[in-house]
Amino acid sequence: MRILVNNAGYGVPGRYLRNDWGTHAAFLQVMIGAVSELTWRLLPAIRGSGAGRILNVASFAALVPSADGQTLYAPAKAFMVKFTESLALENADAGVHACALCPGFTWSEFHDVTGTRAMMSKLPKWMWLDADVVARAGIEGAERGDVVVVPGMVYRLLRSATRHLPERFLLRRMAKNSARIRSVE
């Protein structure tokens, strides 16, 4: 069995016009271009194995309205979810399971690298997931043939709630809460 895990990524903090186009282009190349190309290059061998797995690490941000100061991150992760869904459909006949892992806030170096650790530390502890738990959920989901995996009961409940609430309400809530945890300058 062949397994591909696409987990490259980073965030560009701040509002869209705060950064130059080169910064955004490089971001999109890593978040969308590299994932797409690596998958395209390795997919023939994965299909040829007769029992492969593709685990794309997306984000809970892909499943809810975007936050202020997250102009390209959530859409790039949403691309990854849709890309995974298509891969799952196209490759099921070859025994290949494609799975998008959509964790919420996870303890890692991600927020240190983006310089947002201090702001993110204001979030309640119950919103944070352990990286080992997230990884295990992704691997187990891919093995089961799940196409989208949302680890953590809190995030599964939030996902369910966002499916039933009006988008206008969700956007207002996101606008109200974005500044508390993100620098939006």
Residues 57 and 6: beta-carbon distance below 8 Å: yes
Compute the average pLDDT of residues 27-31.
Answer: 96
Domain that holds residue 26: 3-181
Model confidence at 130, pLDDT cuts 50, 70, 90, reads: confident
* CA-wise closest residue to 59 among 13, 25, 11: 11
Model confidence at 177, pLDDT cuts 50, 70, 90, reads: low
Predicted confidence (pLDDT) per residue in 57-70, tens digit:
999 989 987 777 77
Number of domains in the chain: 1
Model confidence at 125, pLDDT cuts 50, 70, 90, reads: confident
- Token output for 183: 């620098």
For residue 95, what pLDDT is reported?
A: 96
Could you give the CA distance from residue 92 to residue 109 in angstroms, rounded to a whole number? 34
* φ and ψ at residue 77, rounded to 5 degrees: -70, -35
Q: How many CB atoms lie within 10 A of CB 152?
A: 21
Q: What is the pTM of this model?
A: 0.84
Report the percentage of the chain scoring pLDDT > 90.
Answer: 56
CATH classification at residue 13: 3.40.50.720
For residue 137, what pLDDT is reported?
A: 95
Rounded (5°) CA angle 62-81-154? 50
